[in-house]
Amino acid sequence: MAQPRRLPILAAALAMAAGAAGAQPTPGVVPIPIPAIYDMETLRTGPLPDEFVKQLGPLHTLPDVENFLKANRVAFAWSRSQVRSTGLPPDFVRQIDALPPHEVFVTAQGAGWLMGVVLAKH
């Protein structure tokens, strides 16, 4: 996979997943996700060079991301938390829901980056 899995880019994957499931979206109607609580494990960094962001693309586990950051001496903060879907933008929720289980997502957050996985959805 050449491109990092930045959440804004996942719209195409979401559309493909909906098509694969046989569901055809109604033009002009945006489905609202069912409220959920996500158990997430995340790593937060400051700004990253574009070449580092590209190199995150092929990484599919959070330990791989952590090892990459350590090897490149990038400071990060680790956390594990529960996040309510109602506190997130609906597009972000749809994109998170479209990911395979435990797949790493990478998204810009302020001036830095957030990398994480959904461990469970309640």
Rounded (10°) CA dihedral 92, 81, 59, 76: 110
The pLDDT mean for the chain works out to: 83
Contact 41, 77 (CB under 8 A): no
pTM of the model: 0.72
CA–CA gap between residue 109 and residue 67 (Å, rounded): 21
- Domain boundaries in the chain? 1-8+39-122
User: Residue 6, Cβ neighbours under 10 Å: how many?
Assistant: 16
Instruction: Read off the pLDDT of residues 47-57 as tens digits, 9 standing for 90 and up.
Output: 999 999 999 99
CA distance 113 to 117: 14
End-to-end CA distance of the chain: 30
Q: What is the pLDDT of residues 22-61, one digit of tens each?
A: 456 667 766 665 799 999 999 999 999 999 999 999 999 9
